[in-house]
């Protein structure tokens, strides 16, 4: 179990709406598993995770002038907490 699996919280307009429903979105290492992420979040924030969903984003081609490069893919996890629990990580 490694804290480096969870890189940081993703804060967007959509994720702040999900936080009202008890769901939080984390950017994680691409080799992290759902159960490992669940254990890290439960230990780090002292909450009960009841569900977690993974979203893998594939690398995409980007063109800047004549150059074609790749935007790297990433993995994020949506964590649902037990009803009544919340994380104080999002700005109000």
| Per-residue pLDDT tens digits for 3-43 | 688 899 999 999 999 999 999 999 999 999 999 999 999 99
36-41-42-45 Cα dihedral, nearest 10 degrees: 160
Which DSSP string corresponds to 25-68?
A: EEEE-TT--HHHHHHHHHHHHT--EEEEEEEEE--EEEEETTEE
Q: Tokens in use for 27?
A: 């950017």
Domains and CATH numbers, the chain: 3-81 (3.30.70.330)
pLDDT in tens, 72-85: 999 999 999 999 99
Q: Residue 89's pLDDT band (boundaries 50, 70, 90)?
A: confident
> What's the whole-model pTM score?
0.85
Pairing of strands 74-81, 67-71: unpaired
Rg (CA), the chain: 15
pLDDT at 46 over 70: yes
Confidence (pLDDT) at 82: 93
């Amino acid at each position: 179990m490694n804290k480096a699996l969870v890189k940081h919280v993703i804060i967007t307009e959509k994720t702040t709406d999900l936080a009202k429903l008890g769901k939080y979105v984390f950017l994680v290492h691409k080799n992290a598993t759902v159960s490992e992420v669940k254990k890290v979040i439960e230990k780090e924030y002292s909450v009960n995770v009841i569900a977690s969903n993974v979203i893998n984003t594939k690398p995409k081609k980007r063109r800047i002038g004549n150059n074609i490069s790749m935007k790297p893919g990433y993995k994020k996890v949506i964590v649902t907490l037990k009803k009544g629990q919340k994380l104080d990580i999002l700005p109000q």
